[in-house]
């Protein structure tokens, strides 16, 4: 139903589960449907589990005569249905979970789709516009659960844009386009906080350019040929995401074809056992853990791989000291390191409860053993600190082998703890 209680036709219903992707808590959609002309809906073939339901209006957006947008002026509070979580909230954190058992049919009853003020975000794209053929300004993601973008605005010849039908809240808007060989390419982005009057004068720097460099291996320890990549993650915000990567050649050189202006962390994916990323520099400036700023131009990224990574090994135990098979063992740095996955390794214990974590950088960590863990939830410090009492704190030196026997964090204990903390 709409906010007046009338049937809402062609509403978009999405049912999903909470997942952690790159340490970011989001709603991963597992099924969807559209409401009929009398507002009725049915979602079919849902795998048993715990879900949340999100309802929104199906917006078809294009800035042309075929699908004209509503002309919302700054200052106007034009109201339109927007993301609503069952049983009728704008915020996922307060939504009611839906538990689905095998073969179960669930009748939810009426779901009211709430209204929200929609406004314009107007501004200008700055940079070489000739490289942006086919690109648009898009809502790249929302800084909360539910990250898919659906809205877009054409870029005028002078770089101006008008992104309409935007709700209030925190978003990232980006210049994005499709390239035949690389798929979607992001040329630039900026975070925005949208109030009830919208935004006038937003600026997106879209000076994307190639970034090259060299990976060196300490003490001549060049590994046997294998595929390895340099990966960049955005350094802005509390939950960075991977945005670009480049394949490392046999001589250690690499090039990332399109890097948008911004701040980044660099990492190397696919390192052989016993090695770890030891140092990162750009034009002689240290960038290992603080990251670096990129605006294009003549620059070279230099990465040093250490040959003496630390190792953590041991046996996962239950409360009685017995081995636990199949547990997920994770390390978490004492100081949060968002955007640097090398500090958050994860392995699965074998049938005897034994585990081994290699390629670990020196530092101070906690070790956790989980009966069940969702994706990269252990990257989230607000999540892991709830279970610090079930973890063990320790330090690792370069090349050190540390033996630890963490106690299992059962699924029932985890769910009970999360519920007490108000997290679902």
DSSP for 64-116, written as a single string: STTSPPP-PPTT--EEEE--EETTTBS-GGGPPPEEE-TT-----------EE
Retrieve residue 141's tokens. 């993601």
Say yes or no to pLDDT of 299 above 80.
yes
Which ranges in the chain are annotated with CATH 2.60.40.1120?
Answer: 118-205, 311-420
> Over 90: is that where the pLDDT of 204 sits?
yes
Identify the pLDDT of residue 244: 82
Tokens read off for 418:
């999360």
Which one, of 247, 243, 236, lies nearest residue 260 by Cα?
A: 243
Q: Whole-angstrom Cα distance, residue 261 to residue 299?
A: 13
In the chain, list all ranges with CATH 2.60.40.10: 209-306
pLDDT recorded at residue 308: 94
Residue 281 has pLDDT above 90, yes or no: yes
pLDDT at 257 over 90: no
Q: Exposed, middle or buried: residue 382 (CB in 10 Å: 0-12, 13-18, 19+)?
A: exposed
**pLDDT, position 267:** 94
pLDDT band of residue 189 (cuts 50, 70, 90) is confident
How confident is the model over 161-166, as a mean pLDDT? 86
**What's the whole-number mean pLDDT along residues 331-343?**
92
Cβ-proximal residues to 59 (8 Å cutoff; 6+ apart), any chain = 150, 151, 165
pLDDT at 145 over 50: no
Q: How confident is the model at residue 78 (pLDDT cuts 50, 70, 90)?
A: confident
Do strands 276-282 and 169-179 pair parallel, antiparallel, or not at all (unpaired)? unpaired
- State the pLDDT confidence band at 77, using cuts at 50, 70 and 90: low
Task: Flag whether pLDDT at 147 surpasses 60.
Answer: no
With a cut of 60, say whether residue 319 has pLDDT above it. yes
Question: What percentage of the chain has pLDDT greater than the value 70?
Answer: 88
pLDDT averaged over every residue in the chain? 87
Residue 65 in this model has a pLDDT that exceeds 50: no
42-57 pLDDT, tens per residue? Answer: 999 999 999 999 998 8
d(CA 398, CA 309): 6
Rounded to an integer, the average pLDDT of 196-202 is 92
Q: What is the CATH number of domain 311-420?
A: 2.60.40.1120
Domain at 118-205, CATH from 2.60.40.1120, 3.40.718.10, 2.170.260.10, 3.30.470.20: 2.60.40.1120
> What's the pLDDT band for 153 if we cut at 50, 70, 90?
confident
Least confident of 18-22, 126-130, 206-210, 334-338: 18-22
Distance CA 395, CA 93 (A): 35
Separation CA 84–CA 94 (nearest Å):
11
Mean pLDDT of 336-357: 94
Quick one: what percent of the chain has pLDDT higher than 90?
54
Identify the band that residue 297 occupies on the pLDDT scale cut at 50, 70 and 90: confident
72-101 mean pLDDT: 82
Reported in sequence order, the residue ranges of 224-352 that DSSP labels E, i.e. its strands, are 229-234, 242-247, 253-259, 262-269, 276-282, 285-286, 292-294, 300-306, 310-315, 328-333, 346-348
pLDDT bracket for residue 76 (50, 70, 90): low
Residue 367 has pLDDT above 60, yes or no: yes
pLDDT at 407: 97
Strand order of the sheet with strand 152-154? 152-154, 136-142, 169-179, 183-194
Is a pLDDT exceeding 60 seen at residue 112? Answer: yes
Whether 146 shows a pLDDT value over 50: the answer reads no
Weakest-pLDDT range from 101-110, 112-121, 220-229: 220-229
Residue 423: its pLDDT value, please? 77
Report the CATH number of the 209-306 domain: 2.60.40.10
Ramachandran class of 103: left when φ > 0, alpha when ψ lies in -120 to 50, beta otherwise: left
Radius of gyration of the chain from its Cα atoms, rounded to whole angstroms:
24
């Amino acid at each position: 139903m709409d906010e007046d209680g009338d049937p809402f036709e062609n509403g978009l219903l999405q049912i999903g589960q909470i997942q952690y992707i790159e340490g970011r808590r989001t709603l991963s959609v597992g099924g969807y449907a559209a409401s009929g002309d009398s507002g009725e809906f049915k979602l079919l073939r849902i795998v048993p589990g715990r879900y949340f339901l999100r309802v929104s209006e199906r917006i078809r957006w294009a800035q042309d005569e075929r699908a004209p947008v509503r002309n919302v002026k700054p200052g106007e509070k034009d109201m339109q249905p927007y993301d609503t979580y069952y049983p009728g909230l704008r915020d996922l954190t307060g939504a009611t979970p839906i538990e689905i058992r095998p073969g179960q049919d669930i009748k939810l009853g009426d779901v009211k789709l709430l209204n929200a003020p929609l406004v314009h975000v107007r501004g200008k794209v700055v940079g070489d516009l000739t490289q942006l053929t086919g690109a648009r300004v898009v809502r790249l993601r929302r800084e909360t659960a539910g990250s898919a973008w659906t809205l877009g605005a054409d870029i005028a010849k002078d770089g101006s844009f008008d992104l309409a039908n935007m709700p209030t809240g925190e978003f990232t808007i980006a210049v994005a386009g499709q390239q035949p060989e690389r798929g979607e390419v992001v040329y630039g982005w900026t975070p925005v906080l949208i109030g009830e009057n919208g935004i006038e004068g937003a600026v997106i720097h879209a000076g994307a350019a190639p970034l090259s460099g060299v990976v060196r291996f300490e003490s001549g320890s060049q590994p046997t040929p294998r595929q390895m990549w340099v990966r960049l993650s955005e350094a802005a915000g509390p939950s960075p995401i991977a945005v670009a990567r480049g394949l490392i050649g046999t001589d250690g050189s690499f090039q990332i074809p399109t890097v948008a202006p911004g701040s980044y962390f660099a990492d190397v994916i696919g390192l052989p056992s016993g090695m770890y990323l030891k140092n990162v520099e750009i034009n002689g400036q240290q960038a290992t853990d603080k990251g670096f700023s990129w605006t294009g131009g003549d620059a070279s990224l230099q990465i040093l791989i250490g040959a003496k990574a630390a190792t953590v090994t041991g046996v996962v135990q239950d409360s009685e000291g017995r081995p636990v098979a199949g547990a997920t063992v994770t390390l978490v740095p004492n100081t949060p390191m968002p955007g640097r996955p090398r500090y958050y390794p994860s392995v699965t214990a074998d049938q005897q409860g034994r585990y081994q974590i290699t390629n670990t950088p020196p530092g101070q960590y906690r070790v956790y053993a989980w009966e069940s863990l969702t994706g990269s939830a252990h990257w989230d410090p607000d999540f892991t600190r709830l279970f610090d009492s079930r973890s063990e704190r320790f330090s690792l030196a370069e090349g050190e082998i540390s033996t630890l026997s963490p106690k299992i964090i059962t699924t029932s204990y985890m769910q009970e703890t999360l519920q007490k903390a108000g997290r679902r």
